[in-house]
Amino acid sequence: EDQVTQSPEALRLQEGESSSLNCSYTVSGLRGLFWYRQDPGKGPEFLFTLYSAGEEKEKERLKATLTKKESFLHITAPKPEDSATYLCAVQAGSGYSTLTFGKGTMLLVSP
Amino acid sequence: DTGVSQDPRHKITKRGQNVTFRCDPISEHNRLYWYRQTLGQGPEFLTYFQNEAQLEKSRLLSDRFSAERPKGSFSTLEIQRTEQGDSAMYLCASSSLEGGGIEQYFGPGTRLTVT
């Protein structure tokens, strides 16, 4: 059974204080690992897809990396508007493309 | 805006009533998914359509739940005889087989409260 574990559950940062979120996964044949951002009361917003170990993707202050067992979402010099829940999900190579999500990391960036 | 849309955004119902939600995917996306999300949890897969065919259903989808996508465009999710445990955010997502992309794009969700 595919499993995704995210840590920490919650993270509070000061504006400008860089940090990383972790996503550990167990999946039979990874087809893709996804990062989403979710604001309260809204649907998840797609950020990145990573396909293979060693791959990296960047968008503004966010950088996602992937190894064979985990992914990191690095946040450089965060701003208050980066406050949200960040969700990690995996898609197995077999099956019908459904996503298995972690519980998310709730990030709060204080000014 | 050509994103995924869902209607209604909020629904309050009494236990035992039936409810129906609608999802309109991104134009020309042939894959459509339903997920359920409760507070503090990630979305959990419910069911999946490719065009009008329902290809997969989760164990979470009890007999009280039914989903359709009659013309391969919009989809409906119906919950019969609602229970308090059905209270959750119901999310719809779509993706396309074209171009090799596998990303799923989510709608804003329908928040269901069963009293």
Residue of A nearest to B58 (CA): A98
Higher pLDDT pick, B101 / A39? A39
pLDDT in tens, B51-77: 999 998 998 788 999 999 998 899 999
Determine the longest span between alpha carbons in chain B, in angstroms.
44
Q: Express each pLDDT in B8-32 by its tens digit.
A: 999 999 999 999 999 999 998 999 9
Q: How far is A66 from chain B (nearest CA, A)?
A: 17
Name which of B31, B102, B106 is nearest A49 (Cβ-Cβ). B102
User: Are the C-beta atoms of residues B17 and B115 closer than 8 Å to each other?
Assistant: no
* Chain B nearest C-alpha distance from A84 (Å): 13
Facing residue for A96 by CB, picked from B56, B107, B109: B56
Compute the residue count for chain B: 115
Is pLDDT above 70 for A96?
Answer: no
User: Are A4 and B42 a contacting pair at CB < 8 A?
Assistant: yes
Do A85 and B22 contact (CB within 8 A), yes or no?
no
Tell me the nearest-neighbour CA distance from A99 into chain B, angstroms: 7
Q: How would you classify the pairing of strands A30-38 and A45-50?
A: antiparallel
Under the banding of pLDDT at 50, 70 and 90, the label for residue A95 is low
* B107 close to B32: Cβ distance less than 8 angstroms: no
Nearest to B33 among A49, A98, A102 (CB): A98
Residues of A in contact with B26 (CB under 8 A): none
Nearest to B109 by CA among B7, B38, B1: B7
Mean pLDDT over each residue of chain A, to the nearest integer: 94
Is residue B1's pLDDT more than 60? Answer: no
Q: Which residue of A has its CA nearest to B55?
A: A96
- Inform me whether the pLDDT recorded for B98 exceeds 90: no
Which among B91, B93, B90, B113 is positioned nearest to B103, based on CA atoms? B93
- Of A89, A93, A8, the residue nearest A49 (C-alpha): A89
Name the percent of chain B lying above pLDDT 90: 79
Inter-CA distances, A66 with A22, A27, A49, A99, B11, Å: 10, 14, 10, 17, 39
CB atoms within 10 A of CB B39: 7
